[in-house]
Structure formats: C-alpha cells, structure tokens
C-alpha cells in the first residue's frame, strides 16, 4: 500500500508573520499532494485514461480552492504536453517541474521517446526561487529527486517541496539529510509519495527529525488514502 503524505515543520502558518491592525487574518493555507500516475509513455499520450483523470483533478482542485499543490509523476510528452503546466494553467497557478528518471543513458532514452516525469509544485503565490537535488540512489535503478520552491505568501516565505521516493529506509534517510540542509531558510512543507506507511522506519525517521505528519495529526485513527 502506498501512502501520500504532507509533512510540515512544527507550528507552520497558523498566523501572519506580521499581523496588520484591523486587517482580516488570512485563511488557513490549503495544501494538496497528488500522484498524477503518468500512465506510461504511450504514443497516444492517454495512458490509463490520463485525460479523463486530469479533467477530474482540475474539477476537484478548483473546488478545494487550493493554495499549493505538490505533484508526483507529473509527466511531459509530445502528445500530452506538460501535465503540470496544463494543471497550473487551468487553475490559474504558478508552477515549476523537475524531471526525475534514469541516469545519463536513460536521459538519452527519454529524449528519444519524448517523455519524462517527475515532481512539481503548483502555487497560488509567486515562486521566487526553486531548486532540485537528487536523492541517493540506494542501489535503485531509477533516479529520484527533491524539488523545492520558495513561495512568497501572506505568512512570509515558505519552502514547498515535492518528491516521489522508493520505500527503502536508505532513500528516506537521504531525503531527511537534504531537508536538514534547508533548515533556517523558511518554514517548510513536504508533499510526497513515499511508498511507505507511517509505521515504517523511513517515515519515522522523517518525523523524528522534526517534521509533523499533518494527516495523522488531524486524523489519528483514519486509514488515509492510497
């Protein structure tokens, strides 16, 4: 069973950084993480009913009035276009995307096929900076990356990060180390498909390092979504 999680640093974004006397406080930040399921690189570009699923996703995300969306498996192809850019345009959001995938031989193959996939961040607020770093391979053949975007929000700067990892503890420890390197910059929210459940050692390591599993905190007994 796979588990998508939103994890944040403690005390994140409950009030404006500098309250303005007499002004209405901003509403709570609305964040969604979503594995798009790229559906492969079929020449038709509609792997596993991609177009239908995108239409449903746009409808749901618009109804939620989201502020920030973390995508995993956000693909780009000759026929389907850039899925993250399409979602962002439909929702009126800023976006940035980073291809994951194979090493240099695989990148050549991706170019030949005209297809790649990776994490993305969509934001109602301006993206003032972003960067992408590779996670340790941990003997996995597929390269994983961490994408972080710095957002200019009413609460101040916010680092919004998206990633899609394997289930190995090694890779989640690599993710933890990369997030540790961002400490002191701004509050951080991690939106991820970790291919893990909350009771696994890799997720426990992230939480022990100071991240808060927001879904589990708000829903201590619910099984969650997968």
User: Of residues 208 and 19, which shows the higher confidence score?
Assistant: 208
Strands (E), the chain: 4-9, 31-35, 68-77, 81-82, 94-97, 115-123, 127-134, 145-153, 156-164, 188-193, 211-213
Asked if 190 and 68 count as a contact pair (C-beta separation under 8 A), the reply is no
User: What is the structure's pLDDT at 5?
Assistant: 52
Top mean pLDDT of 12-26, 43-57, 64-78, 112-126 is at 64-78
Looking at the DSSP assignment, which residues form a beta bridge with residue 35? 72
Number of CB atoms found within 10 A of residue 216's CB: 18
Query: In the structure, what pLDDT confidence band is assigned to residue 162 with cuts at 50, 70 and 90?
Result: very high
- Using DSSP, state whether 46 is helix, strand or coil: coil
Mean pLDDT value across residues 150-169: 94
Asked if 162 and 33 count as a contact pair (C-beta separation under 8 A), the reply is yes
Mean pLDDT value across residues 83-106: 86
User: Of residues 143 and 16, which shows the higher confidence score?
Assistant: 143
Looking at the DSSP assignment, which residues form a beta bridge with residue 159? 150, 188
pLDDT above 90 covers what percent of the chain?
46
Distance, in Å, from the CA atom of 46 to the CA atom of 51, rounded to the nearest integer, reads 6
What is the reported pTM? 0.83
Looking at the DSSP assignment, which residues form a beta bridge with residue 127? 151
Q: Please, what are the domains in the chain?
A: 4-9+31-39+46-218 (3.60.10.10)
Distance, in Å, from the CA atom of 193 to the CA atom of 162, rounded to the nearest integer, reads 8
Residue 30 neighbours by CB under 8 Å, 6+ apart: 64, 65, 66, 67, 68
**Closest among 165, 187, 184 to 175, alpha carbons compared:** 165
User: Of residues 226 and 50, which shows the higher confidence score?
Assistant: 50
């Amino acid at each position: 069973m796979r588990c998508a999680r939103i994890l944040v640093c403690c005390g994140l974004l409950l009030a404006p950084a500098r309250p303005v006397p007499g002004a209405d406080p901003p509403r709570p930040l609305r964040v969604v993480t979503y594995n798009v399921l790229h559906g492969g690189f079929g020449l038709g570009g509609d792997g596993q009913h991609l177009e239908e699923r995108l239409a449903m996703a746009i409808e749901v995300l618009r109804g939620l009035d989201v502020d920030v969306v973390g995508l995993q498996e956000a693909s780009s192809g000759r026929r389907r276009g850039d899925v993250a850019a399409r979602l962002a345009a439909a929702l009126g959001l800023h976006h940035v995307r980073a291809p994951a995938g194979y090493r240099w031989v695989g990148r050549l193959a991706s170019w030949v096929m005209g297809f790649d996939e990776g994490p993305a961040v969509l934001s109602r607020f301006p993206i003032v900076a972003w960067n992408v770093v590779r996670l340790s391979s941990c003997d996995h053949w597929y390269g994983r990356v961490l994408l972080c975007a710095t957002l200019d929000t009413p609460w101040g700067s916010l680092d919004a990060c998206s990633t899609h990892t394997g289930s190995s503890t090694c890779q989640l420890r690599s993710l933890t180390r990369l997030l540790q390197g961002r400490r002191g910059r701004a509050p951080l929210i991690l939106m991820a498909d970790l291919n893990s459940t909350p009771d696994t050692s890799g997720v426990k390591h992230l939480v022990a390092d100071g991240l808060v599993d927001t879904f589990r905190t708000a829903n201590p007994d619910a099984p969650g979504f997968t």
